[in-house]
Chains A and B, each alone.
Chain A
Amino acid sequence: MSQTKILIIEDDKVILRFLKLALETNEYNVVSAMNGLSGISLYLSHKPDLVLLDLGLPDIEGMEVLSQIRESDDTPVIVISARSKEQEKVLALDSGANDYVTKPFNMGEVLARIRVSLRKVNPSFTQKELFSFKDLQIDFEKRLVLLAEEEIHLTPMEYKLLTLLVEHQGKVLTHSFLQKKVWGYDTLDEYQSLRVFMASIRKKIEQSTKDPEYIVTEVGVGYRFLDH
């Protein structure tokens, strides 16, 4: 089977080299570009399985590259962004990026995100009977949620949110995405109700909200159900 091909679009030579090194060591096939335009053309010619896209490119906006990619395909895209640029990340995620990493990043995180994004989303996911992760178990047929064998009560909204997160396990879901999926429309109130619901879910299933095992809040961006 051919190796998974990853396209890296990154303008910093050193970071690019490290990324290449780490990915190749982990048996990925790597192609790279150092600016947006060559990135797009490489994308079109090589058709990679995943794209690592730095948002701070020298020639064109990272968002522009993202929309070009999205025009043709559903290829998973992970964006790389600077620490203080929250809005940028959220915008990218809501425009079709699958996940993000923040500079400076740890390689382990990048590899984990790549793994998650490459995982094929099973369309009949919710048709499966059971989901099990650590002490949490979800029985989709019976709409039952168990924590360490004990049943916990979730409201219909909470259940919906939890299953959504679980369906995209390992991936970050933005406030906007969750809001639209669960309530059907986006809101202007800064996602107050969403946050409260999420906090309530976490309170019910997490031992320590400061050091969560299941759901992590990505401040300013959204939520992620952990996969390890």
Chain B
Amino acid sequence: MKQTIWSILRVFVILFLATLLSFAFEQMDLRRENIMLIYVIASLLIMIETKRFLFGLAATIMLVFVFNFFFTEPKYTFIIDDPNYIITMAIFIVVSFVVSTLTSKLHKEVITSRQNQKRVEQLYQMSKILLNASTISDILLKEMAFLEGIFENKTAVVLVRSKKEEYYSNHTDIDLLPYKKAIEHAISFQELCGYETHQFQELPVLLFPMKGKEQFKGVLMMDLEKKKLTAQEQEFVETNVIHMAVAIEKEIYAQEEENARVAMEREKFKSALLRSLSHDLRTPLTSIQTGSSILLDSQTKLDEETKRSMLLDMNNETSRLSEFVDNLLNMTKIHSEKLNVNKRLELVDDIFADVYHRVYRRLGSATLEMQSPEDQTEMVSVYCDATLLIQILTNLIDNAVMHTKDNTHITLSYQQRPLDVLFSVKDDGGGIDQENLEKIFQDFVSVGYKKQDQNRGMGLGLSISRSLVEAHGGIIRAENNEIGGATFTFTIPNLKKETKHESN
């Protein structure tokens, strides 16, 4: 309203100034044609000012009458003597008509241009959102929320992938059933249908088709209840739907790539497993087979002591095999996520005793010492799965025995700390290359220590140890120590106080 009042005011001002100027020209005895031209200018200004067609036209007619009144014979009347002036007035009106049309068109263009710019910005925003969306569901829901934010109409998406139908929507009350046929049509023929289109024009919804190369076909359904779309708005939605399709396709490809990678990993693991099974089962089996065949062979004469020592070796090999089988079993359980960790409070001394019992026969030339902390007054308990903790320690000791020089001295010790129990297995038998300190914990890696000899074991022991430590919520690491060997340390977290209360 205010705008209109100001416009009217401005029109009158222009009129007034034009008239004033005309009077001035008349005084100066300038020709009538020139005065008319002033009024032409005035009329143009009025057109530009008013922007509205009818308004401008009315103003022009008023202008014509003013001119007629002040400057045509007879002056100060609305009578026209000279018929030429009628033509003049007519031309006036035509000119203003033309200009008015032009300006109003221009005005409209400006508005459209601004709108377009806004749309482009919105598309840009959408792209940014899509960049951060991760799953297909995410992409679709975010896109729909975006569109719903602009148009206020509810939307839903139906995707068909490998013969399965998937539904996505931000609204749970959207009912797709009445539009089933239309949806199917849109998906199969990839044709825009619905309200006021070629197909299904009686429906109050619009169906925008979308598809990815071979991967999927779908449709975005927009309920037109709140707002009908203009042609331009429809185009905007179509553009967005294309964006969505592209984003989904990208996502599908990424997923496939991931699946392929996982499958490849599994294959690699299986072949590594087979290779090492082959090697590490055969080795002890070979010595048992060979040993027993020698003992069976009546031709070979052996004294009692030799026989006994061979049998002892064979017996030790079986305990190694047994350990290996346990490790293998644990490893497959870990990889198929079927490992049960049954934690209970156990005394560390008890665990150590069991470990010692298991490994003492396999020590060979190495010596094993088990230490308790010096200031120990209380019994130290550790919250763990006893079988698994024993496995961890056994593996670490076996590892030390296998990978170090002869006559290694191995020390097993522990320390009670506020949040966990810290265990360490320390040897003096040659350290580990700096770059391998992390690598040795990987599956099937059997990295030579600084010692050159043949490495036994496929490097499962350390990898299992890590998995079992982590299954308890602890951390394990290796480092070189000051006595010329390696120290493996790991933590087992303590039982949290609250849990204790709960069980009471």
Interface residues of A (CB under 8 A from B): 83-84, 86, 104, 188-190, 192, 195-196, 199-200, 202-203, 209-212, 216-217, 219-220
- Identify A219's interface contact among B322, B326, B346, CB under 8 A: B346
- Identify A209's interface contact among B322, B326, B353, B381, CB under 8 A: B353
Closest A-B pairs by Cβ, 4 of them: A217-B350, A209-B349, A199-B379, A210-B370
Besides the contacts A203-B379, A209-B349, what 13 more A-B pairs have beta carbons closer than 8 Å? A83-B322, A84-B387, A104-B322, A188-B503, A189-B503, A189-B504, A195-B379, A195-B381, A199-B379, A211-B356, A212-B353, A217-B353, A219-B350
Which residue of A is nearest B352, CB measured? A210
Interface of chain A: mostly helix, strand, loop or mixed: loop
Question: Complex: how many Å from CA A217 to CA B350?
Answer: 6
- CB-defined A-B contacts under 8 Å, sample of 30: A83-B322, A83-B326, A84-B326, A84-B329, A84-B387, A104-B318, A104-B319, A190-B344, A195-B345, A195-B346, A195-B347, A195-B350, A195-B379, A196-B379, A199-B347, A199-B349, A199-B379, A203-B379, A210-B349, A210-B353, A210-B356, A210-B370, A211-B356, A216-B353, A217-B347, A219-B350, A219-B386, A219-B387, A220-B386, A220-B387
Q: In B367-405, which residues have CB < 8 Å from any A CB?
A: 370, 372, 379, 381, 386-387, 390
Contact A219–B354 (Cβ < 8 Å): yes
Contact B353–A86 (Cβ < 8 Å): no
Which residue of B is nearest A199, CB measured? B379
Interface residues on B, range: 20 to 34
Interface residues of B (CB under 8 A from A): 318-319, 322, 326, 329, 344-347, 349-354, 356, 370, 372, 379, 381, 386-387, 390, 503-504
Task: Please name all residues of chain A whose beta carbon is closer than 8 Å to the beta carbon of B346 when the two chains form the complex.
Answer: 195, 219
B496 CB to nearest chain A CB (Å): 15
Question: Complex: how many Å from CA A216 to CA B322?
Answer: 22
Known contacts A188-B503, A190-B345, A219-B386: A200-B379 contact under CB 8 Å: yes
Question: Complex: how many Å from CA A211 to CA B478?
Answer: 28
Question: Complex: how many Å from CA A83 to CA B322?
Answer: 10
B292 CB to nearest chain A CB (Å): 13
Question: Complex: how many Å from CA A212 to CA B379?
Answer: 16
Known contacts A192-B345, A210-B356: A219-B503 contact under CB 8 Å: no
Contact B503–A86 (Cβ < 8 Å): no
Contact A211–B353 (Cβ < 8 Å): yes
Question: Complex: how many Å from CA A189 to CA B356?
Answer: 27
Which residue of B is nearest A218, CB measured? B354
Candidate in B319, B350, B351, B379 with the most chain A CB atoms within 10 angstroms: B350
Question: Complex: how many Å from CA A42 to CA B469?
Answer: 47
Which residue of B is nearest A195, CB measured? B347
B396 CB to nearest chain A CB (Å): 16
Question: Complex: how many Å from CA A84 to CA B356?
Answer: 18
Task: Please name all residues of chain B whose beta carbon is closer than 8 Å to the beta carbon of A217 when the two chains form the complex.
Answer: 347, 349-350, 353-354
Which residue of A is nearest B355, CB measured? A210
Task: Please name all residues of chain A whose beta carbon is closer than 8 Å to the beta carbon of B356 when the two chains form the complex.
Answer: 210-211
A115 CB to nearest chain B CB (Å): 20
A11 CB to nearest chain B CB (Å): 19
